[in-house]
Chain A
Amino acid sequence: MAKEMIAMLLAGGQGSRLYALTEKLAKPAVPFGGKYRIIDFPLSNCVNSGIDTVGILTQYQPLVLNEYIGNGQPWDLDRLYGGVHVLPPYQKASGSDWYKGTANAIYQNISFIERYDPKYVIILSGDQICKQDYSDFLKFHKEKEAEFSVAVMEVPWDEASRFGLMVADENDKITEFQEKPKNPKSNLASMGIYIFNWDILKKYLEDDEANPDSENDFGNNIIPNLLSDNRKMYAYHFDGYWKDVGTISSLWEANMEVLDPEHSGINLFDEDWKIYSRNSGMTGHKISAGAVVENSMLTDGCRIKGTVKHSVLFSGVKVEKGAVVEDAVVMGGTVIKEGAVVKHCIIAENVTIGENAIVGAMPTETEKGVATIGANITIGDNAKIGPNAMVRKNVEGGEEQ
Chain B
Amino acid sequence: MISENMNTLGIIFPNSYDAMVPELVKVRLMASIPFASRYRLIDFTLSSMANCNIDNICVMVNNNYHSLMDHLGSGREWDLARKNGGLHIYPPFAQKNAKPYNGRVEALASLLNFLRDQKEKYVIITDTNIVANFDYHAMIKAHIESGADITAAYNEQELPESILNSHSNDKGFYYTFDVKENRITKIYVNPKEPGVQNFSMNMYLIGRELLISLIDEAFIHGQQYFERDVLLPQVNKLNIQGYKYDGYVARITDTKSYFDENMKLLDDYNLDALFSGNPIYTKIRDDNPTRYIEGAKVQNVMVADGCIIEGEVENSILFRGVTIAKGAKVKNCILMQGTAVESGADIEYLITDKDVTVTAGKEMKGTDSYPIYIGKSQKI
Contacts and interface: CB of A to CB of B under 8 A. Distances in A.
9 contacts: A35-B289, A74-B284, A274-B286, A283-B38, A285-B303, A294-B294, A295-B292, A295-B293, A297-B290
B292 A293 contact: yes
Given A283-B37, A284-B303, A294-B292, 17 more contacts: A34-B289, A35-B289, A269-B291, A269-B308, A275-B286, A276-B286, A284-B305, A285-B302, A285-B304, A286-B271, A287-B300, A288-B268, A295-B296, A296-B291, A297-B292, A299-B305, A312-B289
A99 B305 CA distance: 39
A277 interface: yes
Nearest to B304: A284
Interface in A74-92: 74
Contacts of A73: 76
Interface string B288-322: 11111110101111111110100000000110000
Contacts of A279: 284, 286
A298 B292 contact: yes
Q: Which 5 pairs between the two chains have the least Cβ-Cβ distance?
A: A284-B37, A34-B289, A299-B289, A268-B288, A289-B300
A160 interface: no
B38 A284 contact: yes
Interface in B1-40: 36-39
A346 to B, nearest CB: 17
A259 B294 CA distance: 10
Question: Which residue, A35, A284, A290, has most C-beta atoms of chain B within 10 A?
Answer: A284
Interface of A: 33-35, 73-74, 259, 268-269, 274-277, 279, 281-291, 293-300, 303, 312
Contacts of B306: 269
Interface stretch (B177-185, B274-282, B364-372): B274-282
Contacts of B294: 294-295
Interface size class of B (residues with CB under 8 A): 35 or more
Contacts, number: 97
Contacts of B301: 286-287
Nearest to B315: A289
B289 A298 contact: yes
B281 A281 contact: yes
B280 A283 contact: yes
Interface in B149-177: none
Contact of A299 (B281, B290, B293, B300): B290
B291 to A, nearest CB: 5
Contact of B291 (A259, A277, A290): A259
A289 B299 contact: yes
B302 A286 contact: yes
Given A35-B305, A281-B281, A294 B288 contact: no
Contacts of B293: 295
A296 B294 CA distance: 8
Given A35-B305, A279-B284, A300 B38 contact: yes
A275 B288 contact: yes
Contacts of A285: 290, 302-304
Contacts of B288: 33-35, 268-269, 275
Contacts of B280: 281, 283
A401 to B, nearest CB: 30
Contacts of A284: 36-38, 302-305, 317-318
A66 to B, nearest CB: 20
A285 B300 CA distance: 11
Contacts of B37: 283-284
A286 B265 CA distance: 10
Contact of A283 (B275, B289, B298): B275
Nearest to B298: A287
A221 B290 CA distance: 45
A121 B211 CA distance: 59
A296 B309 CA distance: 10
A300 B287 CA distance: 11
B281 A287 contact: no
Nearest to B314: A289
Nearest to A315: B289
A220 B268 CA distance: 57
Contacts of A283: 36-39, 271, 275, 280, 302
Question: Which residue, A33, A288, A312, has most C-beta atoms of chain B within 10 A?
Answer: A288
Question: Which residue, A33, A276, A299, has most C-beta atoms of chain B within 10 A?
Answer: A299
Question: Which residue, A34, A281, A283, A288, has most C-beta atoms of chain B within 10 A?
Answer: A283
